[in-house]
Homo-oligomer: A and B are copies of this chain.
Amino acid sequence: MIPVCDVQNRKGDSTFMLTKVGVTDVRKLVHIKRPDSNDCNEPLICRINVYVDLPAEQKGSHMSRNLEVLRAIVDECMKEPVSGIEDLAVNIGKLLLVKHEYATESNVEIEAEYFRNNKTPLGKDTTEVYGLIGKAKCRRDGYVRKTIGVRAVGMTACPCAQENVSEMLHCSNEWPVITHNQRNVCTVIMTTDDSVSIEADELIDIVNDSFSSPTFEVLKRDDEATVVINAHKNPRFVEDMVRAVLTKIVNRYSGLSDDTLVTVKSESEESIHKHNAFAERTATMGELRN
């Protein structure tokens, strides 16, 4: 065994502490326990960033320990699956503090694609893909905050163009009036205490219910017509979407404490423009309840 130096641990003149030191864009295949599947676990390909802080008097963080922590937690996950990537993030964040004895705080960010079975309006089976976001911030004093988020693609139909067309053509009210519609990407992110459990599936349902219409993998003719009609009967600005999601969150999560942080974003890839329309609200549950 060759004795090796430990450049990172070297102490020198005090310099600046660093807020986040770690590794980014690590990819891991993990398995998550699904509430509705006794027999098999959901495979997720995760993109992971992990960081700890670094005191002013220490030259470097031990980067390879981050990868050892990720291996250990992912291995553990194979034996005893966690129920969400936000819990995975907390487990990683806690072990980071054990392995980096000089750190006072760890931060973990995970993103993955999630496949979920769904039904079209007329009841045909589809499988839809969603984005999952899981984060954790852990401190040596026991403070743990975790973040769960979802990203869904749906459809918005513009209420303004619909009224303008109606005026211009003196449309009767008998038929749904034409308007521009387009892909919308809606993101909900909630940050809470470690003890709280929020289901990603529930957040996906809330977002899907807030589009002009959700979108589907396979739409045969009548299903396609139904989706188009539904969207035009339910036109939505990005502003409307964010408010619709916020209303459902306030109603559904009445048990969440006032300091829960909520971010809702909606971005429409406007069919009549080359740019996007965007709306966002960031607030605590306390602020939303007032």
CA distance A269 to B195 in the complex (A): 36
Query: Which of these binds chain B: A85-93, A142-150, A186-194, A212-220?
Result: A212-220
Q: Is the CB of A155 within 8 A of B167?
A: no
CA distance A20 to B181 in the complex (A): 21
A213 proximity list for chain B (CB < 8 A) = 272
CB distance from A23 to the nearest CB of B (A): 5
Q: Say yes or no for A98: interface residue by CB 8 A criterion.
A: no
Q: Say yes or no for A26: interface residue by CB 8 A criterion.
A: yes
Q: Is the CB of B23 within 8 A of A222?
A: no
> Using a Cβ–Cβ cut-off of 8 Å, how many residues does chain A contribute to the interface with B?
105
Q: Is the CB of B225 within 8 A of A164?
A: yes
A221 proximity list for chain B (CB < 8 A) = 4, 160, 164
Q: Is the CB of B272 within 8 A of A224?
A: yes
Asked if A19 meets B60 with Cβ closer than 8 Å, knowing A128-B274, A155-B271, A169-B229, the reply is no
CB-contact partner of A4 in B45, B64, B167, B179, under 8 A: B167
Query: Which of these binds chain B: A202-210, A232-240, A252-260?
Result: A232-240
Main secondary structure on chain A at its contact with chain B?
mixed
Asked if A228 meets B280 with Cβ closer than 8 Å, knowing A16-B246, A129-B27, A168-B2, the reply is no
Q: Say yes or no for A284: interface residue by CB 8 A criterion.
A: no
A271 proximity list for chain B (CB < 8 A) = 155, 181-183, 215, 231, 271
Q: Within residues 11 to 55 of chain A, which ones have a CB less than 8 A from any CB in chain B?
A: 15-29, 43, 45, 49, 51, 54
CA distance A45 to B172 in the complex (A): 46
CA distance A274 to B172 in the complex (A): 33
A159 proximity list for chain B (CB < 8 A) = 7
CB-contact partner of A178 in B23, B26, B176, under 8 A: B176
A-B pairs, top 5 by smallest CB distance, nearest first, are A43-B43, A164-B225, A67-B218, A4-B221, A7-B160
Interface residues of A (CB under 8 A from B): 1-5, 7-8, 15-29, 43, 45, 49, 51, 54, 59-61, 63-64, 67-68, 71, 113, 115, 125, 127-129, 153, 155, 159-161, 163-165, 167-169, 171-172, 175-183, 213, 215-222, 224-229, 231-232, 237-240, 242-243, 246-247, 267, 269-283, 288
